[in-house]
Amino acid sequence: MGSPSAASHGGHRPWQGLLITASLLTFWDPPSTVQFTIEALPSSAAEGKDVLLLACNISETIQAYYWHKGKTAEGSPLIAGYITDIQANIPGAAYSGRETVYPNGSLLFQNITLEDAGSYTLRTINASYDSDQATGQLHVHQNNVPGLPVGAVAGIVTGVLVGVALVAALVCLLLLSRTGSIQRDLREQPPPASTPGHGPSHRSTFSAPLPSTRTASRIYEVSVGHGCSGPAGSRGPRICPHQHLAELRFRKMQ
């Protein structure tokens, strides 16, 4: 009969194997699967712009990508697919010619319209033929002026208003300058001369000097003395009998 010590050293203990297995399970952490997501760039785009539906956290073992228009891949029309082995796009029933699927699974929309807004789902198939899917949203808003941003429209309107104001100011300056020139010409123009039938002007009435007393007497003497004759053969001045009487009357009148 063997000794207990020999049995303890040479015998098999099953609990030791269970301990080793438990230790391996404790330190071994299986790789976790990360769910991929869809992000729109930009998140809200204007009509007529390009939008990228970016596929994030995509596994490197993906063999095929399929984009569907809808909240799920089941029952939604296929837009396009991409096969990594042949690196080619496969158009679907909802393909419009403006969509492109990239090798990383992202979908590019060109010249989007308001009808393109909505949900889009990406379905992936890996090397083990396991399928997974994620959904993203595409937001589209209408432009105020087609082809022009809001800042450009504001700049155009401001430029037009400034141009109109400058033209109006220039016209006002020209009118004021012409009016001042006309008024200056009127002030510098001499008054018109008197015309027959309208009477003499104020200036023409007092422009000629009045004759003096001596000049008037001489004129009157000549006019009164005309036709009077003196004695024949006399060399002195001719004296009219009525000349002295006329001079006296004229002087009394003065």
pLDDT confidence bin for 153, thresholds 50/70/90: confident
- Cα 134 from Cα 58, distance rounded (Å): 11
Tokens of 219: 């004129």
- Tens of pLDDT along 70-112? 999 999 999 999 999 999 999 999 999 999 999 999 999 999 9
Cα of 140 vs its chain's centroid, Å:
24
Q: What is the pLDDT of residue 211?
A: 53
Residue 155 has a pLDDT of 83
Q: What is the mean pLDDT of the chain?
A: 74
Instruction: Judge whether residue 8 has pLDDT over 50.
Output: no
Supply the DSSP string of 154-171, one letter for each residue.
Answer: HHHHHHHHHHHHHHHHHH
Q: Using an 8 Å Cβ cutoff, are 107 and 81 in contact?
A: no
Q: What is the pTM of this model?
A: 0.47
Percent of the chain clearing pLDDT 90 (strictly above): 39
Name which residue leads in pLDDT, 134 or 224: 134
Higher pLDDT residue, 121 or 15? 121
- Please give the span between the terminal C-alpha atoms of the chain, in angstroms, as a whole number: 197
